[in-house]
Amino acid sequence: MDFAIYKFPYGFLKIGYQGETLKLLQRADKTSDNDKKTDFTDLVYKEIMEYLNGERTTFDFPYELEGTDFQKKVWKELTRIPYGEIRTYKDIASAIGNKNASRAVGMANNKNPIMILVPCHRVIGANGKLVGYAGGLDMKKGLLDLESRVREIPYLEGQACN
């Protein structure tokens, strides 16, 4: 897998790819000496920036998820959460047929290799609080705020980011 690093509002965006298939999209703390930008990574970056600017709600490039069967099941369910909406870990556990798997869903979210496209930021705690996000809670809150503004639907009116 090759990588490209781009500057974006939350630091640096690491794009892992194989050919013209996205394999990894994560927030990074710094650039890398092994940076290999291509037309494909430029397209991924362009679409992510359009999303962050409120100009895009879906993506047009191919991606592939690698993980356990359980993780893939959770990640597939995450892709079913509509833009601007949220679910709880328990909601996801119920949707995949195991209502008692909230913690396992949380662990699968934590291992999500493709943030934003596989929208684990749309999953919150049962108490309505923002919990756990690989990009950090500020980024999670920022993404949810963006999506609620674009859809003009408040997601957690009056809730703090704790």
User: Tell me, what CATH number does 133's domain have?
Assistant: 1.10.10.10
The one catalytic residue among 24, 120, 130, 143: 120
The reply to whether 83 and 118 lie within a common domain is yes
Q: Is the pLDDT of residue 153 over 50?
A: no
Q: How many CA atoms lie within 13 A of 61 on its CB side?
A: 24
Domain limits for position 16: 2-52
- Residue 160 is assigned to a structural domain of this protein: no
pLDDT digits (tens, 9 = 90+) for 120-137: 999 998 888 888 887 888
The reply to whether 90 and 146 lie within a common domain is yes
- Residue 144 is assigned to a structural domain of this protein: yes
- Predicted TM-score (pTM) of the model is 0.86
- Residue 103 is assigned to a structural domain of this protein: yes
Q: pLDDT band at residue 161, thresholds of 50, 70 and 90?
A: very low
Domain count, the chain: 2
The reply to whether 20 and 78 lie within a common domain is no
pLDDT digits (tens, 9 = 90+) for 28-48: 877 666 789 999 999 999 999
For residues 44 and 117, the answer to whether their CB atoms sit within 8 Å is no
Roughly how many angstroms between the first and final C-alpha of the chain, as a whole number? 35
Sign of CA dihedral 122, 123, 127, 130: negative
Cα 24 to Cα 27, 114, 151: the distances in Å are 10, 5, 27
The reply to whether 16 and 84 lie within a common domain is no
- 161 labelled catalytic: no
